[in-house]
Structure formats: C-alpha cells, structure tokens
Amino acid sequence: MPTTIRDLRPNDPADAESVVRVRRAALPFMISTAPGVAFELACAHPAKRYRLLVAESADGQVIGTAQVGIVYDSPEPGQGFVNAYVDPARRGLGAGSALLRAAEEHLAAEGAKDSYAWVLDEPPHRAFAGRHGYHPSRSAHFLRLDLTTAALPALPRNLPAGVELRTASAFAADPRPLFEADAATSLDEPGDVAVEFDDYEDWLRHTWNNPYLDRSLTSVVLVDGEVAAFTAAHTDGATRYSSAMTGTLRGFRGLGMAKLAKNDSLLRARAAGYTQAFTGNDTGNGPMLAVNTWFGYEVCATETRFTKRLETLR
C-alpha cells in the first residue's frame, strides 16, 4: 500500500498524539508529549528550517514520523539533521525510506551539505542506514533508573562553605545565569557537529520555556553565589523523568558538583511521584557515565550517529 508523506498539522492535537504514539513505540526511552511536539514546531528558530514530517498509510494511520532541519547554531554552515521513527508494528512498508527521502530533499533544498541521523544500534537499523548511504560516526547510550527501587543517597546535612542548592524556579525573574552556564558547558559536550549559542532570546524560547522543562526539579549548585553546576529535568508530567543536560563549569570540575545536582534532582523527582528516570550519554563521556553508574543507571539501549554527504542530491 502507498505511504503518503506530509507535514504535521500544527493545530491538530490528534496529529500530535499520533506522533507521540509512534515515538514512544519506536524509542520508549525518549520523553514525548503532544504539547511538546506542538512546541517543537511552533517555537523552532526560523534559521532551523524545521519540519516535522509524518508518514501516513493508505488507511489514514500515522505509521512514522521524522524531525528534520538545519543545525543553525553551528559555526560550520550546511549541517543538517534527520531523525526518523517508524511504528515497529508497521515496518517493512516503505515508510522509513519515504521519510528519509523527503527529509534529504528538504535539507538539500535548504543548502545542507551533510545529513546527520541517530539510529538504534541494532542490525536492522544499521543495515537501513547503510543502504541509504549513511556511515557511522559516533555512538551514545540511553540509560534508565527505576526511581521506585533506586538506593539514592540522602543529601549531605551540611554543604561545604559557600555551596548552595537551588532549583531553576529560583531564577524565574532572571534566568540569564542559567543561560550562561548552559552555553559555557555545551561547548565541551561530545559531538560531531560543533554548536555555539549566544542568543539569549532564542534560548528563552526553546529551552527555558520548553514545556518538558520542570523548573522545580531542575537543580542548580551555586558556589559563592555563582552557578557552578546544574542538571536540567524534563518530564512528561506523569511518571517519566529525564536528565536533559547536566553541566559543570570548568573551574568547578572534579569537586562532585554534577553528582550533587543530579542527586538533588532525582530525590525531588521521586518525591514528586516520578517512577522512571532516563538519561543519555555519549559512549566516550567517561566522567558522566561514571556518575550515572554510581546512581544505579543501567544502559537500556545504544544509538549510533550516522552521516551522509548530500551534495549529490542537488
């Protein structure tokens, strides 16, 4: 049966719910909600050239979806991305190939030189990427922690002199210190596409005002009033919590600040009723993998980042 590729209907809650259903089936370690899906599209930076595609079967069912756009905050122009997901129960119908073809055509039209895609590190998915001309570049783990049974340590009764724990809610009047910490620590994140951001208004739109961000569970470590470390908490508003970003400023590394922030956030999440915690780590990020292993996180899946040159599509 033919598969139709179209854009998400931005004002159709049922369409967003269909995307959530597919994402959860294909990648259950990722936080996804209908408001979050709608936000992705509505608040994307114009330079991102972002599209949220869906694959619709002949019977009108959404069986696949893809995120596609330009890495607009990279100092190297022409870097594109596509992440495609197909309902496991509807694979083999050509939805993945159709989504990828439409995504690559969009990227090439927008001047992208390269396309980057995350693919589950399993034989069928790797084979699919290889057949479409993609080559592996790096990998990352999804990790999971059962908050109902995790032996989370209590916070220290007395923090070192000058050290304070706050939540992101305390920065509601002026979140700029968190923006500056996020921008600084992101420079050191492992990756195959460099990213630099200095647009505070854009950060407010896509990070601070993101519906997934729970400011009351996002923990910040201050040292003498200065942000030293933080962990950003994303949730589905029900049972699932995810560490979206954990960072420590260079001058404070090696002092256990990231562990303190994560410990505080995880304890808050459990107290708020969340039962499953997820996070992701580049396989080469030994320090953060060690921190997460210390908390009891276990690897539940691995993704490989694939890349393809797009110039031949023009």
> What's the pTM value of the predicted model, to 2 decimals?
0.93
What integer pLDDT is reported at residue 188 of this predicted model?
A: 81
Closest among 214, 218, 238 to 227, alpha carbons compared: 218
Structure tokens at 314: 């023009």
What integer pLDDT is reported at residue 143 of this predicted model?
A: 97
CB-based contact 22:65 (threshold 8 Å): yes
Q: Using CA atoms, how far apart are residues 27 and 278, in angstroms rounded to an integer?
A: 12
What integer pLDDT is reported at residue 120 of this predicted model?
A: 95
Closest among 41, 28, 227, 225 to 142, alpha carbons compared: 28
Per-residue pLDDT of the chain (314 residues; tens, 9 = 90+): 578 999 999 989 999 999 999 999 999 999 999 999 999 999 999 999 999 999 999 888 999 999 999 999 888 999 999 999 999 999 888 999 999 999 999 999 999 999 999 999 999 999 999 999 999 999 999 999 999 999 999 999 899 999 999 999 999 999 999 999 999 998 887 777 777 788 999 999 999 999 999 999 999 999 999 999 999 999 999 999 999 999 999 999 999 999 999 999 999 999 999 999 999 999 988 889 999 999 999 999 999 999 999 975 54
Q: Using CA atoms, how far apart are residues 145 and 27, in angstroms rounded to an integer?
A: 16
| Residue 172: HSE in the Cβ half-sphere, 13 Å Cα cutoff | 7
Q: Is 292 helix (H, G, I), strand (E, B) or coil?
A: helix
Q: Is 42 helix (H, G, I), strand (E, B) or coil?
A: helix
Closest among 217, 219, 209 to 235, alpha carbons compared: 217
Name the CATH code of domain 4-140+303-313 (choices 3.40.50.1820, 3.30.70.920, 3.10.20.30, 3.40.630.30).
3.40.630.30
Q: Using CA atoms, how far apart are residues 126 and 86, in angstroms rounded to an integer?
A: 14
Residue type, 217: L
Dihedral sign, CA of 16, 5, 117, 122?
Answer: positive
Q: Is 209 helix (H, G, I), strand (E, B) or coil?
A: coil
Where are the domain boundaries for CATH 3.40.630.30 in the chain? Answer: 4-140+303-313, 152-295
What integer pLDDT is reported at residue 312 of this predicted model?
A: 56
Closest among 261, 272, 290, 244 to 30, alpha carbons compared: 244
What integer pLDDT is reported at residue 1 of this predicted model?
A: 55
Query: Would you tell me how many other CB atoms lie within 10 Å of the CB of residue 99?
Result: 25
Give CATH for domain 152-295: 3.40.630.30
Residue type, 299: V
What integer pLDDT is reported at residue 198 of this predicted model?
A: 86
For residue 180, what is the enclosing H or E element?
helix 176-186
What integer pLDDT is reported at residue 209 of this predicted model?
A: 97
Q: Distance between terminal CA atoms of the chain?
A: 29
Residue 168 carries which DSSP code?
A: G
Q: Report the side by side order of strands in the sheet with 219-223.
A: 4-7, 51-56, 62-70, 79-86, 114-120, 298-309, 135-146, 276-282, 240-248, 226-235, 219-223, 163-167
